[in-house]
Structure 1
Amino acid sequence: MTTSDPIPYLDPAPDASPGQHARRGDRNAPVTPLHPAPLAIAGSTGGVPDSTGVASINKSLAILEIVAERGGASAREVSASLALPLPTVYRLMQTLVQSDYLVHLRSEHRFELGYKLHRLGVSLHRQIGVPQQVRAEVDGLHASARAAAYFAVYRGSDVVVIYIVDSPENPRLQPLTFGFHEAAHATAFGKIMLSGMTAEQRDQYLGAHGQARLTQTTVTNRATLDHELAAISATGVAWEHEEFMPGMSCAAVGVRDGAGLVVGSVAVSARARDLDGREREVELLLRESGARLSRYFRSGTLPARHPD
């Protein structure tokens, strides 16, 4: 059985030779976890005072993240995780319960996510909205490439995954889910979209997001990344080999609008060993999907997929 999540779109670039790029850098440098710590809590160590309300908001959001990550938590567990006084945690969690952001399971002495968060999630999915034609194309790519498939787009200043299709045999990259918007420098769909930015846009994006080392092969040097993005722009295909997640590889092409601008990307990922020797096949499938999706974003119609 396959599973799917909504995710943003990429751009299909002109045909050219396959693009696999060597990663250079210090393999002995420390690797940065994608989520190294809970949300920073302003005011907890002399920062923004509680009287402004900003610190309380940050603490409340941190509480929601802890409860979400753990599938539920007691006030004591949250207090220990966030290094906050237990009375403060109780007060904030009760406020979240009253607002329907948390539910208190009294008999189990724990809290779980509330129903209002579901409504917010439904609203987010509705706002981003992945057209049925796009979903069908990514579904088809997943089946033909025998790999997890993704669709990513620009949303504001971020590169956001809005649709994912995977299966037990071809699992997605972890922790990629709907709304993922990190590590563009280390993902194939992110690199495609970075390659479509102007120099000024790229400077602003990387200045804000950085180039954290996620694995020993992540490109963290700006000059090296710029060189790789220039090659990606020329070939129209981006690859990453174990830069985002050890043992996994990913490839992507862009999706372009009527003006020829990259507005999203379509990508696949699989175990690195499963893609060895299949690079040409995978690139062909991606180019075909990218071209069809580009046609859709130019004209509103999607050509039929060729039978596998």
Structure 2
Amino acid sequence: MQRAMRLLEAVAEHAYGAPAKQLARETGLALPTAYHLLRTLAHEGYLRREKGLFFLGESAERLGSSTAAQKRRSTIVEMVGHWRDVIGVPVYYALYREGEIHVMCVSDTPGNAAVEEWADFRQTGHAHAVGQCLLSQLDDGARRDHLERYPPQSLTPYTVSDGGALLRRLERLGRMEPVLERQEYALGTVCAAIPVTAGASAATFALSLPVQRADRLLPAARRLHDEVGRLLGTLAISISI
């Protein structure tokens, strides 16, 4: 396995391909061994051979994409955990992809617990800061489509359940403005969400606090805004997970 990986790494260094003899020399493998491994890797789709030169194949490219995606996930998890510790609040990362809300990462502690998902986050985007922030980044048609599939409903006395009123509220927010939400999803909880972009997808980092600490919501949101900007350079960033 290690010898095969050395060959794959060597091939990856040659954008225009490399012959077996050169790859054997670069990896320190005997030529018969290199030939055998190269044929096996080509048969499995990790390499392809054209005119005596070896290139990375589709399987290797998929493996590389998967590895890169795992690295991005680890980076996001580390950042969210860092912000949780620095700000002292639960922190969330979510995406709007293919018409659905996806909460990708939640980081909390026993002393600062995350909001309990008592009603499916995907179906209640109208009520929580994460969903409102994601919907605010969509165009009018996409917002209406989402609310037709998931009609607003009252979850608490503070929920905006009128579709028209909600659309007007989202329109006023602007595409990249932070969102504050107070007890609309769950009584006793206030939340804030910071908009970012993730490739072609809308995304958000968010935080929550118990209503008894509502006075900390705006300062915590500003701190999260600053932390996102400091570590990622700009709120208009391109990340994926």
Residue 241 of structure 1, CA deviation:
0.5
**Which whole-Å deviations, capped at 9, do the CAs of 1:161-180 have from their partners, x for residues lacking one?**
01001112111111279x95
8 A contact 1:189–1:252 mirrored in 2: yes
CA distance in 2, matches of 1:139, 1:274: 21
Deviation at 1:297, TM superposition (A): 4.8
User: For 1:18-56, what per-residue CA distance to the aligned partner results, in whole angstroms no more than 9, with x for missing partners?
Assistant: xxxxxxxxxxxxxxxxxxxxxxxxxxxxxxxxxxxxxxx
Matched, 1:145 2:84: no
CA contact (8 A) 2:198 2:239 kept: no
In structure 2, the residue matched to 1:207 is: 148
Aligned partner (choices 141, 155, 169) of residue 228 of structure 1: 169
Instruction: Indicate the structure with greater helix content.
Output: 2
Structure with bigger gyration radius: 2
* Structure 1 vs Structure 2 CA RMSD: 3.1
Note if 1:287 corresponds to 2:232: no
SS of 1:212 mapped into structure 2: coil
2:213 equivalent among 258, 274, 281: 274
2:75 to 133, 152, 175: 133
Gaps of 5+ in 1: 1-125, 301-308
Secondary structure in 2 matching 1:141 = helix
**TM-score, normalised relative to structure 2:** 0.62
Contact 1:255–1:262 (CA under 8 A) maintained in structure 2 = no
Secondary structure at the residue paired with 1:224? helix
Q: Hey, what's the Cα distance between the residues in 1 that align with 2:84 and 2:99?
A: 28
Distance in 2 between residues matched to 1:176 and 1:138, nearest whole Å: 22
- The normalised TM-score by structure 1 is 0.50
Q: How many residues align?
A: 172
Distance, in Å, in 2 between the alignment partners of 1:299 and 1:222 is 31
8 Å contact kept, 1:141–1:149: yes
What residue identity is the alignment partner of 2:90? A
Structure 2 CA distance for aligned equivalents of residues 213 and 299 of structure 1: 33
Match of 2:196 among 252, 255, 259: 255
The structure, 1 or 2, with the larger RCO (C-alpha pairs under 8 Å, 6+ apart) is 1
Query: Contact 2:129/2:181 (CA < 8 Å) preserved in 1?
Result: yes
> How many Å separate the matches in 2 of 1:142 and 1:297?
20
